[in-house]
Structure 1
Amino acid sequence: MAQVRVRFNGAPVARKLRAAAARGVFLGAEHVLGVSDDRVPLDEDALQRSGMASVDEATLTAMVSYNTPYAVRQHEELTWRHAPGRTAKYLENSLNEERAQVDAIIAAQIRRALR
C-alpha cells in the first residue's frame, strides 16, 4: 500500500485569500461609486467630484461617500427636482441595485487568488 503525505500551509493561503477579498470589496465599492456618480444630482458637479470609495482591510468593510456640506441633504430630500437621470437616494439605490454585481466582483477576485 502506497503512503501519501500532504502538507498544507494554511496561513499563506489565508493571507492571500484575505488580500483578494479586500481587493474585491474595494473594487465593488468603486463599482457602486461609478453607478452612483451617474445618478448624483448635478449643478456644478462638485458633489460628483467629491465621491470616494475606501476599504478597511482589517474588517473587510467598504465605504462609499460624498464629501460636500449638502451631500446628505441632496441624498435624502425626495421632493427636490433633478435633471433627467439624476435622483435623490443616488447612493442607497445604487448599492441596493448593484448588490449582486458587487458579490460577483468579490467572488471573481477570490477565484483569481485560488489559481
Structure 2
Amino acid sequence: MTDLEKRLNFIEFRQELLFRDDPVSRLFFEYKITEEQVDQIYDLFDDYRTRIENKMDVHHGSFEQALYEIVPEQNGNYHFVEFLAKELFDSGRWQEVFEKLYGDMLKYQQLFKK
C-alpha cells in the first residue's frame, strides 16, 4: 500500500468516525487513532475480558502499558486509557474490563455499589 493509499484510508476512517457520532468514535477521532489501532485496541479489550473470565490476575498498569504499545503517541497518558475504558463501559462494551481494572478507584466506586 502506498503512502497516498494509507493517507486516503486514514481520512476515510476519520470521516466514518464523524458520521458515527458517538463518544467512543469522537475519542478515536480526537486522538487521531487509526482503524488498525482501533482493531488492536478492541483485541486488547477482548484479551483482558478473557483473562478476567479465566480468573487471571490483571492490573490497570499492565493494561495501560499494552495500550501504549498500540498507540505510542499516547505513551504515559493514563488519562487517555482510563477515559477510553470508561467511554466503552458507558456504551455497554467491555464493562467487566473497566470494573476490574478501575473499579477499586475511589472516583469510580459509586458506579459499582450494589
- Normalised by the length of structure 2, the TM-score is 0.28
Higher share of residues assigned helix: 2
- Normalised by the length of structure 1, the TM-score is 0.28
Higher RCO, 1 vs 2 (CA within 8 Å, ≥6 residues apart)? 1
